[in-house]
Structure 1
Amino acid sequence: HPRIVEIPLNRSANPGNCHTHPAESDLHDGFSPPQQPRGPSAKHRGYRKDLLTAAGVAVPKTFEELEAAAKKIKETQNVAGFVARTGKSPAVTQFSSFLYSMGGDWVDASGKAAVNSEAAKKAYAYYGGLIRNYGPANVSTDMSWPEAMAIFTQGGAAFYTEADSLYKNATDTAKSKVADKVGFAQFPAGPAGSKPYNIPSWALAINAASPNIENAWKFVQWATSKDQVLAQQKGGIPGARTSVWESPDGISTYPKDLAEAIIASAKVGVDHDRPVVAQVTKAREAVGQPIVETITGGDTNAAADKAAVAFQAVLDAEKK
């Protein structure tokens, strides 16, 4: 990265700017310059209220309840119980919440690859198993969010986990056939609790080589001010200000259950949704392969062991 003007997040652009994600997510040494968060992205769960009612199923709060609900709905309602991203790279960010909630992470305390830990193997088996056993028939293993979202919005699945910034695709009647039937809930709890990712998907930084740093900083202050964040959030773009989320006006255009889920997730969120490395493409392809292997009926544990070797090679290369 070029050298960036460093403005600590505790000296925020605006007084009282309490971010709805862990501040550390903008400060990973060596990989991301210090930035002023503009918009967060967190994991939420969308579901079909009508299908749950028809199946006599309550909104699941745990992994066990989610799997049982997905199974019952697929067996009784002639529709997939669950859908999510399946491509080895795009699925990584969405899989991360399952990994953390199982008690795992991409690396261990010593910085070594941990995607073949017992917790990680359970997470791969659970996520891939939901799609393999209760997902759409003949599901593609190359889906990112547009493909998975399309299945959900066209009425093809009961549960869908995705980034909250994409929620309007499900609630907009021009895009979704089930817009009036969609509900939202906090990410369910695994053995380690509910640990969805909660990151700043957009942020602003100032290049130290800029000839106009003072005015650039004024722009950052304006763009992340409460008034601007409020206006953007009312238009459906999640903001990074706790004060806006706590304001009735700030959540007035959001479905009530979604706003509640986002606020709850902000309190327990994990500050990264992928391996924190410079060679993130290689890392995602490595750690995402066990997802595909599981969906296609392969050996999850063997795939996780292989992924750990490939990911460790990426980590080792970055130390040179």
Structure 2
Amino acid sequence: MKGTVGELGEFGLIRELTSRLTTTQAVELGPGDDAAVVSAPDRRVVASTDVLLEGRHFRRDWSTAYDVGRKAAAQNLADIAAMGAVPTALLLGLIVPCELPVTWPMELMDGIHDECRVAGAAVVGGDVVRGEKITVSITALGDLRNHEPVTRAGAGSGDVVAVTGWLGWSAAGHAVLSRGFRSPRAFVEAHRRPEPPYHAGPAAAGLGATAMTDVSDGLVADLLHIAEASKVRINLHSAAFDIPSQMSDIGQAVGVDPMRWVLNGGEDHAMVATFPSDVKLPARWRVIGEVLNASAAPRVTVDGAPWDPAGYDHFAGTGVGEGVGRGRGRAG
């Protein structure tokens, strides 16, 4: 399709975007009316929202529109899974300039749609608005399926800390891209399109997880949220982390200890949770530490020593990993 968003017009753009969508059994009424209707068998709805701003959360010279769509959907759907819920639906708010080629929002929607299919959800509606800078706003919904939500506040002394998914890959990919390279491709792709282990969230709830979050702002920073909410200390074991040889090579080339990417990088959206020590965890979960009583303020240590969480703060403008404004807290 040729032309610009302005030439296509608001309703033409909406028509083209919605024509690319499919549905799921959870959707009773999809796009096309004043609002969508999504079934909620549990009678409770888990909700999370997020905003991505061009130049702060993504760069068009680094990522395609399809990449941005996959990433925007993934980081919201991961929040749903991190509550122990199953993702069901997603709503899109999109601000675009009139001169933007119409192929860009089409490819964005393809990425969002494909990531929703991975998670078992569907896009059920949204809105488009004219603006000076591309802004993507996502609201994701989920169903607890009669489980209690797994919050950040349930970790207790004696629990083990375990993780499933990638750690440090997105941050390593960012380091590669920021120096003008496009390989090793696996790390670059991890930054462009994270692959959250959606299934692991509800599965962890079924196993009896006491607290859980996805790793969006960095492992230590996100575990600090759990430590503060649960009023405990969390100690991690550096020997529990396997650093791929290619990540070590990237770290050596750019002068960064790859352990910093693993512990502070974020944006891989791995699932990290605490479990009672007697729970038999599946092989995909790796125990990386333990929960201890907090003798003073809640904190996270590595091998018993303090470690700077270095999570991204939008208003402080500091952090490790995404140089264009990486981290975000869960709102939902």
- Taking structure 2 as the reference length, the TM-score comes to 0.23
Q: Larger % of strand: which?
A: 2
Relative contact order, CA 8 A, sep 6+: which one is greater?
1
TM-score normalised by length of structure 1:
0.24
Name whichever structure is richer in helix by fraction: 1
